Amino acid sequence: MPVDCLTVGAPIFSGEDAMKLSENALAVLERRYLSKDDSGNLTEKPQDMFRRVARNIASAEAGYGKSKKEIKAVEDDFYNLMMSLDFLPNSPTLMNAGKDIQQLSACFVLPVGDSMESIFDALKNAAMIHKSGGGTGFSFSRLRPKNDAVHSTKGVSSGPVSFMKVFNAATEAIKQGGTRRGANMGILRVDHPDIRDFVGCKEDLTVLTNFNISVAATDRFMNAVRKGQEYDLVNPRTGKAQEKANAKEMFDQIVSLAWKTGDPGMIFIDKINAGNPTPEVGEIESTNPCGEQPLLPFESCNLGSINLSNMVVDGKVDWKRLEEVVKLAVRFLDNVIDKNKYPLPEISETTRSNRKIGLGVMGWADMLIQLGIPYESKEAYEFAEKVMKFVQEKGHKASEALAKERGPFPNFKKSVYKKGKPMRNATVTTIAPTGTISMIADCSSGIEPIYSIAYVKRVMDNDELRYVNPHFEETCRERGLYTDELEKAVVESGSVSCIPGFPADLKGIFCTAHEISAEGHVRMQAAFQKYTDNAVSKTVNLNTTATKEDIAKIYLLAYELDCKGITVYRDGCRGTQVLESGAKKDKTEPLALQTKLFDGQFDENGKLRPRARPLVTMGATHRMTTGCGYLYVTINEDQKNLFELFARMGKTGGCAASQTEAIGRLISLALRSGIDPVAIVEQLKGIRCPERVLAKEKIYSCPDAIGKALQAHLEMQGQKFEEMSKLDRGLRPECPECGAPIEYSEGCMVCRVCGFSKC
C-alpha cells in the first residue's frame, strides 16, 4: 500500500474467511492479540482468533442442555458477529478465551478492611489479578485515619494514603500477563478525615503512578458545596464525626488538583448506590480503574461493545440489525461469565451470583458523522438518548429471555427487580473504554468525539504514514473538496477549524475533542448515562488555557445532570507549571512571585530581563553520539548557576548545525533568566527524529542528546533525577512503543496506532 495515506477497509485475506481490516487494525492484532509460539512467531490469523473465541464462548451452551448442532450454530453466530466487527468483547476475552489462562474479565473490585490482615489480603489478591491481566479498584474508605489509635500495638495508624503507596509499589513489581503493569483505581469518601491528604496525593507526579484516584462525593457534600456549608468528617473506625470541614473549600481543593494534574476525578457515590441493583447484597463503594463500572467487593466486569458505525446503511440507522446485534451480544456476554476462569474463588462466587454484564457502544462519533449530525448539538444529545434507550431496552429484553431459558441470576430475589420480570443479569449496559478494540473495528473510541482528523506516523527510512479519517476523506471527495493541500493542512493541524474557506457545516460535523466545549462533553455523557445501567467512561478534554473555574462548572454540571462520575484532562496538565497571581488583584504581586521563582532581573514594566554575561565563565564539554554524528555540548556557569549552553555538530554547516545553535541560544536565554535547568531537561528528553542511535544510551535526536548532556552535567553536581517518561508527565507525549501521538481518552492514555495503553 502507499505510504502517504492509509487505505481503510481493503480485504487482507482471501477465501470464505476474508474480512476487512485496516492496516492499523492488523498491526494491533499482531502486536497484542494473535497467539504466538515461544519464538514470538504468529500461530493464528485474525479469523483464527475469532473462531477460537467463538468456539470457546459458545461451549457454555452445553451447560444448558444444547445439542452439538445447536452449539455449533451459536458458535457460527458469535463468529460472524465478531468477524463483521459489529461487536467485540473486551480485550482479555479476545486474548485469553480458549487458552490455558482463560481469564476473560478486564477489571475487578477488591475490599480493603481496617486491619493489617485485610489490607495485605487485598494486596495479595490484587497481585493475583494483575498477574492474570486484570485491573483493580479499591475503596480505602474503611481504613482509620492517620494518627488514629491502633489498640493491638498501642501505636497509631499511618492512614489510607500510606497504604496506597504500598499497593502502588506492588503493582510496579508485577508485570501484567508479561506485557504491562496493572491499573488501579483508588477511592476515598469525601467525608473521610484524611480526604485532604488523598486529594493531593498525586500532586507529585512521581508517586502513585499506577493509580487513578477519585473522590467519592456524597449528596450531602454536593449540597453543602452549593450552599457554602460545613460538613462532617467521620472516623470510619468509630462511626462518629471527628471534625468539620468547609465543603466549598474542599471542593475547590479537588478542582485545583484536577486542574493541575488531572487527578482526582469524582464519582457520585450516592447516585451510584441509587442505581445499585442488589442493595440487599451490599453497598457499592468502588469502581473499576476507568470508573465506568461500579462493582461490589469481589465483583468483576464482563464487557463488550457494539460498533455503531456499522449500524448506518445508506445514511440511515438499521434498527433491525442493531436489535439483532444487541440480542446476540447479551447471550455472548452471559456465556463469558460461565466460561471465565476467575483468579479468586470469592470473585467467582460474587460474579456468578449477580451475573452483571456491561454491553456498550463504540463508533458513536462515526455514526454522527455518517448521519451529518454535529457532535455538539441538541440533535446529537437527543439522538444519543434514543440510541442508548434502544440498546438498553433490547438488552433487558434479551436478558429476560435468557432468564426464561436459563433462570434468573441467583441474587434476583435480593434485587430491585424482584417484583418484576426475572432477569438473567443484574446489570446489562455499560459505556466502557474501547481503546484497542475500537482500533480493531476501525471506528471512533466509545462515545468520544474524534480526537484528530489526521496525523502522521513516522516509520523507518524517513517515510511517513498519513492517517486521515476515512469519513472525512469520503465526505470531502463527494463534495469535490479533497486536495493534496487540504490533506497536508489537516495532517499538520489535525483539525479543519482554521482552514480558510472550509464549509461551516462540515466544521461542525468534524469537530475534534479539544474543539468541543466542556459543557458539550458533559451533556453527551449525561445523555448516554440516562439509559445506562452502570456508568459511562468519558473524558472531558480541555485546552491548556482552561481555568479552575471551568473545571468547577464541569463537576457541578455533571452532578446536576445525574452523571455517576466525571473525569477531566487539561492538555499538558501533568507537566505544566503555570505562574499564578493568587487571589489578590494587586498588580505588584505577580512581579513578587516571579522574582521568587526566577531570581532574575526585571525592567520597569515588570518584564523578565536575563542577567548579563561576565567576562569569564567555567564549564565542561560533553560529547554525545547522535544519528547525525558527534554533538559537542558545552555547558558553562557563572557565580550563580548554570549560565549558557553551546551545541555544535562535529561537522559544521547544514540544517542540523543551525538547529542545534538555535537550541543552544534559547537554552542559554532560559538559564540566564533563572529557569530551572531540570525543567529544560524534561522538555528536551524524549524528542524523536528518524535518525536515532540505539546503542548503550539511546539518543533519539539532537535535542534529546542536549537534554541528556544537561542532565549528566547536573548529576555531576549532585542533582538527583527521578526517571519519568513523557507519558507520565503528559507533555503531548508520543507512544513509548511506536512513537505515534498519544491521546488521553476514556480515562486513560492510549495510542491509536499500536494499541499501547497505560491502563
Q: What are the residue numbers of the active site? A: 288, 290, 292
Residue with cell 532560559: 670
Report the C-alpha gap between 703 and 686 in whole angstroms.
8
Report the C-alpha gap between 170 and 172 in whole angstroms.
5
Residue 687: other Cβ atoms inside 10 A? 16
User: Nearest to residue 639, comparing CAs of 612, 602, 666, 660?
Assistant: 612
Residue with cell 492496516: 23
In the numeric block, which cell numbers belong to residue 616?
569569564
Report the C-alpha gap between 468 and 495 in whole angstroms.
11
Report the C-alpha gap between 676 and 692 in whole angstroms.
27
In the numeric block, which cell numbers belong to residue 654?
547544514
As separate numbers, helices (DSSP H) first and strands (DSSP E) second, the chain gives 25, 33
At residue 97, the 3 state secondary structure works out as coil
| Vertex 459: Cα angle to 50 and 758 (nearest 5) | 55
Helix (H) or strand (E) holding 220: helix 219-227
CB 281 within 8 A of CB 411: yes
Q: CA-CA distances (angstroms) from residue 439 to 366, 446, 626, 630, 751?
A: 13, 11, 34, 40, 10
Coarse DSSP helix, strand, coil percentages of the chain, rounded to the nearest 5 percent: 40, 20, 40
> Assign residue 392 a region: left if phi > 0, alpha if psi is -120 to 50, beta otherwise?
alpha
User: Nearest to residue 701, comparing CAs of 624, 612, 648, 627?
Assistant: 627
Residue 291: other Cβ atoms inside 10 A? 28
Burial class (CB in 10 A: 0-12, 13-18, 19+), 485: exposed
Report the C-alpha gap between 575 and 300 in whole angstroms.
34
Helix (H) or strand (E) holding 677: helix 677-684
Amino acid at 345: P
Report the C-alpha gap between 106 and 185 in whole angstroms.
13
CB 433 within 8 A of CB 537: yes
Torsions phi, psi of 644, nearest 5? Answer: -155, 160
**Alpha-carbon dihedral of residues 431, 434, 437, 438, nearest 10 degrees?**
100
| Vertex 301: Cα angle to 299 and 307 (nearest 5) | 170
